[in-house]
Amino acid sequence: MNLDEYRRAARDWLLENAPKDDSPDIAQAKDFMARLYDAGYSGITWPERWGGQGLTQAEERAFAAEARDFALPTYVFSIGLGMTGPTLVDRGSDEQRERFVRPLLRGEEIWCQLFSEPGAGSDVAGLQTRAERDEARGARGDSWIVNGQKVWTSVAQHADWGLLLARTDVDVPKHRGLTMFVVDMRHPGVTVRPLRDMTGRAHFNEIFFDDVPIPDEHRVGDVNDGWSVAVTTLLHERLSISAGVGMSGQKDDPTSLEALRQAVDTTDPLVRDELVELHVRSRALALFNQRLAQETRAGLFPGARGSAAKLLLAELTLFRADLATRLVGPASVVGDSPLAHAISLAPAMALGGGTNEIMRNIIGDRVLNLPPEPRVDKTVPFKDLKVGTQG
């Protein structure tokens, strides 16, 4: 099938299968993902061997372009599709890929990402959640016991599995004593408490781990090499956030150019100026994302430039929310309208996946080769640092 045929087939499928219901529940969202996967539209570029379609970015983009016109219930799968799944494909064992990737792509299992803690967000390598070998407690040593707390964990209230970064050695510098695991979110000892944010909804959660066992087969990468696995996840996170992976189409976005054109007086030259600015910024980001996607396809990993794409998207989201507030006026933020929700959610984009300041630090350090931030904690054993609740 050539690309035009692929695109037409995708459109026909979406017309027939995109949910008509405005706010489908989790069961309906899972049902939709299963049909999306069975039709060949989930994991379009993922390796066939692990359940993907093994196609190219061209098909992925063609599908995404069609999907923009529909409100698809994929948000709850966005962490799995954009972050934890690609990490397992890149860094997991064959057994882990075999076990987890297909159910993730088919929406049978929902994933969350357990990195941030109350004392470790931007400085995530300073985290304190401990994973200790079971043998330290006199058992056989083929599993780990986890204790600690995570926070801001998106979609965890629905998750079956979590990708967990935990401290396994306190006697070495902070980046060298971390290990990555897959944790069963339904296991006794895992407590998930939704947190209500300023939109009035609960997008994220706080999680408590009390003596939660994890089998060693669920360790991702080597013991104490969790930081390099986390860097893989964070690179995927920034790229997928900026590319809108798992996000619904723009059809119902009340701050999109199309929606604002309907809502405001477009004969006013000042308003037209603002809308042109919005168009130019959106187009520039779309082209930048397209370039990163093509480079990735050609084997050139975008690395820290993914941080630039994420920063541009955060700035664009804030610009759109500010523009909508100014153009629509006070009515824009009254009640629980979709526009009020989009405006109050906009600042989250400048925090989740790394704050704008951290993105600028990364760009300065690794894209522009400016002198790095002074770091006093690179050589000190973690247990001697004053971080979180320690020290």
Ligand X SMILES: Cc1cc2nc3c(=O)[nH]c(=O)nc-3n(C[C@H](O)[C@H](O)[C@H](O)COP(=O)(O)OP(=O)(O)OC[C@H]3O[C@@H](n4cnc5c(N)ncnc54)[C@H](O)[C@@H]3O)c2cc1C
Contact residues: ligand X, CB under 6 A: 79, 112-116, 121-122, 152-154, 203-204, 348, 351-352, 354-355, 357-358, 361
For ligand X, the closer of residues 40 and 121 by Cβ is 121
Tell the residue number behind the tokens 């939660």, with chain if given.
212
For ligand X, the closer of residues 76 and 324 by Cβ is 76
- Smallest distance from the beta carbon of 333 to ligand X, in angstroms? 19
For ligand X, the closer of residues 6 and 100 by Cβ is 100
- Smallest distance from the beta carbon of 359 to ligand X, in angstroms? 9
End-to-end CA distance of the chain: give it in Å, rounded.
62
Of the candidates 114, 346, 79, 104, the one whose C-alpha atom is nearest the C-alpha of residue 237 is 79
- Smallest distance from the beta carbon of 46 to ligand X, in angstroms? 21
Exposed/middle/buried for 205, CB within 10 Å: 0-12, 13-18, 19+?
Answer: buried
Strand-pair category, 111-114 with 161-167: parallel
3-state secondary structure of 203: coil
**Between vectors from CA 276 to CA 272 and to CA 282, what angle results, nearest 5°?**
145
For ligand X, the closer of residues 114 and 212 by Cβ is 114
For ligand X, the closer of residues 31 and 123 by Cβ is 123
- Smallest distance from the beta carbon of 195 to ligand X, in angstroms? 10
Q: Which two tokens stand for residue 80?
A: 């799995």
Give Cα separations from 384 to 34, 122, 172, 207 (angstroms).
49, 20, 10, 26
For ligand X, the closer of residues 44 and 183 by Cβ is 183
- Smallest distance from the beta carbon of 345 to ligand X, in angstroms? 8
- Smallest distance from the beta carbon of 348 to ligand X, in angstroms? 4
For ligand X, the closer of residues 207 and 260 by Cβ is 207
Strand partners, 155: none
- Quote the radius of gyration of the chain (alpha carbons, Å): 22
For ligand X, the closer of residues 168 and 233 by Cβ is 233
Q: Check residue 224 and report its DSSP letter.
A: T
Of the candidates 102, 79, 78, the one whose C-alpha atom is nearest the C-alpha of residue 89 is 102
Strand partners, 166: 179
- Smallest distance from the beta carbon of 2 to ligand X, in angstroms? 39
Q: Give the number of other Cβ atoms within 10 Å of residue 227's Cβ.
A: 18
Q: Which two tokens stand for residue 355?
A: 């704050």
Q: Which two tokens stand for residue 197?
A: 């944010």
For the four alpha carbons of 74, 80, 86 and 89, in that order, the dihedral sign comes to negative
Strand partners, 170: none
> Measured between alpha carbons, how far is 222 from 220 in angstroms, rounded to an integer?
7
- Smallest distance from the beta carbon of 136 to ligand X, in angstroms? 26
- Smallest distance from the beta carbon of 280 to ligand X, in angstroms? 27
- Smallest distance from the beta carbon of 127 to ligand X, in angstroms? 9
For ligand X, the closer of residues 44 and 79 by Cβ is 79
> Measured between alpha carbons, how far is 48 from 81 in angstroms, rounded to an integer?
15
In the complex, residue closest to ligand X by CB: 121
DSSP labels, 74-142: -GGGHHIIIIIHHHHHHHS-HHHHHHHHHHHHTTSS-EEEE--BTTBSTTGGG---EEEEGGGGTS-SS
For ligand X, the closer of residues 103 and 388 by Cβ is 388
